[in-house]
């Protein structure tokens, strides 16, 4: 049986997603949560791609989930921004509330690299996000969107690749049934002990469910 499987794997017509991710040298960005890193291909967040986070409601721990990685990105002596004074910005586009700078500072975010954009309309959010992603200045772009069609998500994904930036889109749970070009799609659900994290789609990885990801 194992022999047959081995033979099958040798077949050049067989295409394995996981290998493909690895051959691209896809080094993930450590999330700061070892439990989560184990399930993410490359051992962390996809660096230059779109990550989609689906939420029931705001404040479920969606920011805490990202903070360690964002802190690492905004560091002046971080690997990404070591020799480039203009890189390493973190853009917040259309946040639903006010991101509170003292708390950001507590999490280790470099406040001089924070850019907040408050568009008036949804299409401006997408436009600003695409601009920020493709400019090459932003290490990460966080955006809050109600609607994101397949076409727009593909555009964001391309912009993230072009600007070598990490795009993070926060969307309501209703978006679950809609298709998306995101490299990583996760959902946060309130569980019994804490917030549960479900990996819905992961390029080069496989779906999983984590109970109380922070615990």
Partner 1 sequence: MSSLDKSPAILRDTAPTPSVTAKPARLEHTQQSFALVAKPTRRLWFCIYLPALPLQALNDTDAEEATAVFEDKEGMRRILLADKKARAAGVVPGLTVNAALALLPTLCLVERNPQRERQALEALAAWAEQFTSFVCIETPEMLLLEIAGSLQLFGGLSSLQQRIVAGLEALGFSALLSIAPTPLASTWLAKAGRRASILTQADLTGALSKLPIRCLGWPDSVNEHLGGMGINCVGDCLRLPRAGFARRFGAGHLLELDRALGRLPDPRQSYRVPERFCSEYELKEEESASDLLLNVCQELLIELERFLLMRQLSVQRVSFSFFHLREPATHLTLGCLQAGRSVSHWFELLKIKFDQMVLPAPVIAIRLRAGQSQLLTARSDKLAFNDVGKRQSEPIAYLVERISARIGNESVHGVTTVAEHRPQYAWMPVDLAQVPHCAAAPSYWCEDHRVLRRPLWMLPEPRPLQLAQGAPVYQGVLKLLGRPERLETGWWDDDGIARDYYVAANPAGVHVWVYRDRRSAGGWYLHGIFG
For partner 1, the closer of residues 40 and 128 by Cβ is 128
Q: Which is nearer to partner 1, 32 or 205 (CB)?
A: 32
DSSP 3-state of 14: coil
Q: What Rg value do the Cα atoms of the chain yield, rounded?
A: 18
Contact region for partner 1 (CB under 8 A) — 30-38, 134-142, 171-179, 202-210? Answer: 134-142
Distances (CA, A) of 1 to 10, 60, 76: 14, 46, 53
CA distance 77 to 120: 35
Q: Around 36, how many Cα atoms within 13 Å sit in the side-chain half-sphere?
A: 28
Degrees (nearest 5) of the Cα angle 82, 88, 94?
175
Residue position matching structure tokens 């990460």: 140
Is residue 22 classed as helix, strand or coil in its secondary structure? Answer: helix
Q: Which one of 19, 86, 149, 150 is in contact with partner 1 (CB under 8 A)? A: 86
| Residue 165: CB minimum distance to partner 1, A | 8
Question: Applying CB under 8 A, which of residues 74, 152, 195, 202 lies at the interface with partner 1?
Answer: 195
What is the torsional sign of CA 68, 60, 33, 92? negative
The interface region with partner 1, picked from 27-35, 83-91, 171-179, 198-206 by CB under 8 A, is 83-91
* 187 is a site residue for partner 1 (CB under 8 A): no
Member of 43, 68, 78, 191 binding partner 1 (CB under 8 A): 191
- Alpha-carbon distance of 16 to 212, in angstroms, equals 30
Does 62 sit near partner 1 (CB under 8 A)?
A: yes
Between 7 and 193, whose beta carbon lies closer to partner 1?
193
Binding site for partner 1 (CB under 8 A): 56-64, 67, 83-84, 86-87, 89, 95-107, 110-112, 114-120, 124, 127-128, 131-132, 135-138, 163-164, 190-191, 193-195
């Amino acid at each position: 049986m194992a022999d047959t499987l081995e033979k099958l794997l040798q077949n050049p017509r067989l295409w394995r997603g996981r290998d493909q991710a690895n051959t691209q040298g896809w080094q993930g960005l450590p999330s700061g949560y070892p439990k989560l890193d184990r399930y993410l291909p490359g051992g962390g967040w996809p660096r230059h791609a779109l990550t989609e986070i689906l939420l029931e409601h705001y404040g479920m721990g969606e920011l805490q989930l990202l903070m360690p990685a964002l802190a690492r990105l905004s560091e002046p002596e971080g690997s990404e921004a070591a020799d480039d004074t203009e890189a390493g910005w973190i853009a917040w586009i259309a946040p639903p509330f006010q991101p509170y700078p003292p708390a950001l500072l507590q999490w280790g975010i470099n406040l001089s690299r924070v850019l907040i954009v408050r568009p008036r309309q949804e299409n401006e959010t997408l436009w600003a996000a695409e601009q920020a992603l493709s400019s090459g200045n932003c290490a990460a772009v966080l955006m809050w969107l109600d609607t994101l069609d397949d076409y727009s998500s593909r555009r964001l994904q391309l912009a993230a690749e072009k600007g070598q930036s990490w795009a993070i889109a926060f969307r309501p749970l209703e978006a679950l049934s809609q298709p998306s070009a995101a490299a990583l799609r996760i959902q946060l659900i309130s569980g019994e002990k804490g917030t549960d994290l479900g990996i819905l789609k992961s390029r080069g990885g496989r779906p999983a469910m984590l109970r109380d990801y922070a615990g």
